[in-house]
Amino acid sequence: MNCPNCGAKLTSMNQKYCEFCGVELEVIESKPMEQETKKTFTIFSKRRCC
């Protein structure tokens, strides 16, 4: 990740300040979108024995 102010590469994800320009960084966690669960059904033919 890069600093949004100066573009310098951040050394860790939990930084509170940029090491180069000193701007305060706020970590925003994005939640992954809910994945659609696809259900597949298999139909077996039922055979009767004689």
Which parts of the chain have pLDDT scores under 70?
A: 29-50
Q: Is residue 18 part of a domain?
A: yes
Please say whether the beta carbons of 30 and 42 come within 8 A. no
Q: Is residue 38 part of a domain?
A: no
Q: Is residue 10 part of a domain?
A: yes
Indicate the number of domains in the chain: 1
Structure letter (DSSP) for residue 37:
P
Question: Domain range spanning residue 17?
Answer: 1-28
Q: How far is CA 49 from CA 42, 44, 46, in A?
A: 22, 15, 10
Residue 12: per-residue pLDDT: 84
CB atoms under 10 Å from CB of 11, counted, come to: 9
Q: Is residue 5 part of a domain?
A: yes
Q: What is the DSSP string of 2-39?
A: B-TTT-PBPS-TT-SB-TTT--B----PPPPPPPPPPP
Q: Is residue 19 part of a domain?
A: yes
Question: pLDDT of 21-33, one tens digit each?
Answer: 988 888 776 666 6
